[in-house]
Amino acid sequence: MEKQINSLIRLSGVEIEKEQREILQEELQTFLHYAQIIDKAPDFEDDKLSTSESFMVDDVAVDWQGNLLENAPVLKESSYLVPPQQSKKHHEAKLEQSKTSTLENWEVVIGLEVHAQLLTKSKLFCRCSTEFGKTPNANTCPVCTGQPGALPVLNKEAIRMAILAGLAMNCEINNHSVFARKNYFYPDSPKSYQISQFEKPLCSKGHIVIENEEAQQQQVRLNRIHVEEDAGKMIHVGTPGIWGAQASAVDFNRTSIPLIEIVSEPDIQTPYQAKEYMTMLRTILVSMNICDGNMEEGSLRCDANVSLRKKGESELGVKTEIKNLNSFKAVERALEYEIKRQKEILDSGNVVEQQTRLWDDNKQKTLIMRTKEDSHDYRYFPDPDLRPVEVPAEWVTNLRSELPQMPLERKEQYLGYGLSQKEAIYLMHNPHYAAYFEDIRAIHPNAKAISNWFFSEILSYVNARSSQIHITPQDFADFLQAIDNEEISGKIGKQVVKEAFMSNKGLMQVIEEKQLRQISDEGAIAKIVEEVLQKNEQQVAAYRGGKTTIFGYFVGQTMKASHGKANPGMVNKILREKLDG
C-alpha cells in the first residue's frame, strides 16, 4: 500500500502530509469497496451509449468572433519560463566501432512510428493558425495553452487528411473512433495531457509497398494511423539540450498542431528498408498535400523500435526505442549503430535492456534516455470533452475517389515512357515535378524529349539556384516544338535555357527577343548562299577546279552571313546543289 501511495503521489505531482496518507488509504479501501459493489451487480448487456452525432468545425484559422487571428493573439506572454529538467547523466555506450558489419546468425526486426504534421490552416482543437516560424506564443489561445475552462473542438479538415492518408496506405477507416487523453507532466504539454487516439484509432491495418535493396517490391504492414495533437517547443537557455540547461522557455505555437502517427508492424529488416519506408511515406503524404514532409522543421518525425533475434526464431527480442530521428540519414545511421550495439551485447552473452534511447546526430550515437523502470503510466481514458468521431461511409467513398496516383504506379508509368530508372524514381519522389511533367506531356507528347531537357538542363539550373521553375508547361512545350521544327538547334536551345534562367524570362520570349529562330526557308538561305558565292568567286573556281576540301569554308561563310541562324542541314544541301549542280 505504501508503495502504491508513493507511486500515486509521483503520478499526481502532489505531496501530502502523513495524516492525509492515512485518510487516503482509507478512501482507497472505499474505492475498492465501490469496485466490489459494482462487480456484484447483476450482469447486463453492454449496450452502447446512444451514438451522438460527432461535432467538428471547419478549418479556418480564425477566432470565435470570426476575426483572423494573425494579428490578434489572445495571450500576451512571449514565453513561459520553466526551471530546467531534472539533470540526468548521459550513459554513453562505450563501444568500439565493430569491425565486422555482418549480422552472422542474427535477424533484425524494426518497426517505425512516424509522426507527420498535417497541413491544416488551423490547429487540431482550436482556431489558431498553424503557420511555422511566428514569434513564440503568437499562435496561441485559451484552448491550446490549456487555460482553465477551455475546451477542444475537433478540426474536420484534420480528419479529412488523416482519412486520405489512411486510404493511400490501404487502411481500414473506422467509422467510429475515439479521442483519449494521454496523461503525463511535461512543460511543453499545456494541459498535462495529450489528446490522442488509443483504443479506437481512425485507421487500422493497412500497408505500403517499398523497394528493398534487391530492387524488389516488399510490403510493410501498418498497425494503425491515428490522429493526435503536437506538443509545444522547449527553448533551452544555457547549454544546449534538455539536460543541464539553466532554464527553459516554452513556445506553444506548435501545441495542438494536428499530427497523424503512422505505426508500422515490425516488418522492416534493415536500416536501408527503414529509410526507404520513410522516403515512401513522405512521398505519399507530400503528393497528397497533407504534410510538407520537412524533416528539419520537424513536420515529419520518426521513432524506431529495433530488436534482434536468432535467425529462425519467431519470438521477438527485447527492443529499444530510438527517438529524435530527424533526417532520412539519421534513420539509417541510428539503426545501424543500434543494431551493432545490440549485437555486441548479445554476442557477449548479455541481454539487451529495454530502453528508450536518443539519437545524437553530432556524436552519431544513440544515448540512453530512460529505462523501463522510468517508463510512463499514461493513464489513457476517453476524453470526455470530445465526442466520438463518426465518419459516414459516404465521406470515405468520396475521399477515395480523390486519391492521387501512388508513387510506385507513377514510377511504372515513367519507365513505360522510356525514362531511365533514376529519372523515374526521381519523379516518383517529387510529385510536383511529376505533375509538371504531365502538364507538358499533355501538350507535347514526346516524354523522352521532355525528360532529356528537364533532367539535363532545366533541373540543373533549378537545383543550382534552389529556385522554382518559372517556365510554364506551355512555354516548355512550345520550345520542344521549335526544336522539333528545327527552328532552333540543340546548341542554341541550351543557350536559350541558360538565358531564360539568367533573366527570369520564358524560353520562347528569349528566342523571340534574341531572334534565335533558325532560318529554314529555302529561298532565304539560297539567297544568302548566292551572295556568299558571288563574293568568293576565286574560291568557287578553286572548288569547282577540284579543291573540294574547301566546302566547309562556304558553309562557314554562309553561317556567318546568316548570323548563325541558318539551318545548317539546309545550308549544306543548297551549297551542294549550287556548287555541284
Collect all residues with Cβ–Cβ distance below 8 Å to 263 and sequence separation of at least 6.
111, 112, 113, 222, 223, 224, 225, 226
Closest approach of other proteins to the CB of residue 184, in Å: 9
Closest approach of other proteins to the CB of residue 237, in Å: 7
Contact flag: residue 260 with Zn ion (CB under 5 A):
no
Contact flag: residue 7 with other proteins (CB under 8 A):
yes
Nearest residue to 480 (alpha-carbon basis) of 501, 460, 451, 456: 451
Site string for other proteins, 65-84 (x = CB under 8 A): ---------xx-x--xxxxx
Structure-block grid coordinates of residue 78: 512571449
Q: Tell me whether residue 242 or residue 367 sits nearer to other proteins (CB atom).
A: 242
- Could you say which residues in the range 332-391 bind other proteins, by CB under 8 A? 377, 379-381, 384-387
Q: For other proteins, which residue of 136, 152, 258, 266 counts as binding (CB under 8 A)?
A: 152
Nearest residue to 96 (alpha-carbon basis) of 388, 347, 401, 412: 347
Among other proteins, Zn ion, none, partner that 351 touches (CB below 5 to 8 angstroms by kind): none
Nearest residue to 494 (alpha-carbon basis) of 512, 509, 479: 479
**32/40 Cα distance (integer angstroms):** 12
Q: In the beta sheet, which residues pair with residue 116? A: 260, 300
- Could you say which residues in the range 141-200 bind Zn ion, by CB under 5 A? 141, 143-144
Q: For other proteins, which residue of 150, 368, 524, 526 counts as binding (CB under 8 A)?
A: 150
Q: For other proteins, which residue of 90, 93, 146, 452 counts as binding (CB under 8 A)?
A: 146
Of 244-252, 334-342, 416-424, 439-447, the window that binds other proteins (rule: CB under 8 A) is 244-252
Size of residue set near other proteins by CB under 8 A: 78
Among Zn ion, other proteins, none, partner that 215 touches (CB below 5 to 8 angstroms by kind): none
Closest approach of Zn ion to the CB of residue 184, in Å: 21
- Could you say which residues in the range 246-305 bind other proteins, by CB under 8 A? 246-248, 250
Q: What angle do CA 452, 453, 458 make, to 5 degrees?
A: 130
Burial class for 416, CB neighbours closer than 10 Å (0-12, 13-18, 19+): exposed
- Could you say which residues in the range 165-224 bind other proteins, by CB under 8 A? 181, 183, 185, 187, 190-193
Q: Are 108 and 90 in contact (CB under 8 A)?
A: no
Q: Where are the beta strands (DSSP E) in 319-404?
A: 320-325, 355-360, 365-371, 381-382, 389-390
Question: Within a 10 A sphere around the Cβ of 541, how many other Cβ atoms?
Answer: 10
- Could you say which residues in the range 72-131 bind Zn ion, by CB under 5 A? 126, 128
Closest approach of Zn ion to the CB of residue 346, in Å: 48
Q: Tell me whether residue 44 or residue 315 sits nearer to other proteins (CB atom).
A: 44
Among other proteins, Zn ion, none, partner that 381 touches (CB below 5 to 8 angstroms by kind): other proteins
Contact flag: residue 31 with other proteins (CB under 8 A):
yes
Structure-block grid coordinates of residue 186: 511535461
Q: Tell me whether residue 13 or residue 312 sits nearer to other proteins (CB atom).
A: 13
Of 5-13, 301-309, 310-318, 366-374, the window that binds other proteins (rule: CB under 8 A) is 5-13
Terminal Cα distance for the chain, rounded: 114
Residue type, 114: V
